[in-house]
Structure formats: C-alpha cells, structure tokens
Amino acid sequence: MKIAAKTLLLAGIVLTPTFASANDFSTATRVQYVMDCLTANSQMNVYEGVHKCSCVIDKISEKFTQTQFEDLNTAYMYKNLPADRGATFRDDKGIKSDMKLFEETNEEAYKSCRL
C-alpha cells in the first residue's frame, strides 16, 4: 500500500506542472489585454469590463499559446496599415491562415462573454 501511495504522489508531482502550464499566458499578457479591452470598450463600468475582458482572454488562451497570441494579435492590429507598412501582415500566407482562426476565436469569445 505504501509503494502505491508513493507512486501516485510522485506521479502527481511530476504531472502537476504540465497541467498548470498548458497554454497558460503570463499575468502581464493577460493584464495588458484586459487594459486594452477596457480602453476599447469604455462604455462599461470597470467592474463589468474587467470580468468580461478577462473572460475573453481566458477563451483565447484555450486555443492559442502565448507566442501564437502575441504574433496574431500584432498582425491583427497592424494589418490595416496603409501600403507596404501593413503588407507584411496582410500578405503573409502563414499569418493569413492563422488569422482566420484568431478572428473566429475572438468573435466567439466576445459573444460567449457578452462583450
């Protein structure tokens, strides 16, 4: 019995960090997103806005890693720049395919979080 308990305890210690870090965004990334979201949706009071914007970033973090999110969020913001400045973000085929999923995920998150 003691061997089984020790084995389970050891397995739990080894696997716990894996579960905690799966697609986990840093606190700074989450806070920055919520602050930007609050600025973009200034008609809401702060309490309501924080909860809804936090919900959105939680939904996004379920589908993307932090690096993917940062890359796609940057491309999303800069794709409408005029001429060559935005061309990098508009014309890259790798970004285009992921951008569609990013936009759909944003849309779904906004709807489910009632933002």
Sign of CA pseudo-dihedral 37, 42, 43, 49: positive
pLDDT of residue 80: 86
Task: Report the C-alpha gap between 8 and 21 in whole angstroms.
Answer: 20
pLDDT of residue 2: 60
Angular region, 64: left φ>0, alpha ψ -120 to 50, beta rest: beta
Mean pLDDT by 10 residues, the chain (115 residues): 50 47 82 96 94 97 95 89 84 83 95 95
pLDDT of residue 44: 92
Angular region, 60: left φ>0, alpha ψ -120 to 50, beta rest: alpha
Inter-CA distances, 5 with 2, 12, 17, Å: 5, 11, 19
Task: Provide DSSP, 55-115.
Answer: HHHHHHHHHS-HHHHHHHHHHHHHTTSSHHHHHHHHH-HHHHHHHHHHHHHHHHHHHHTT-
pLDDT of residue 23: 63
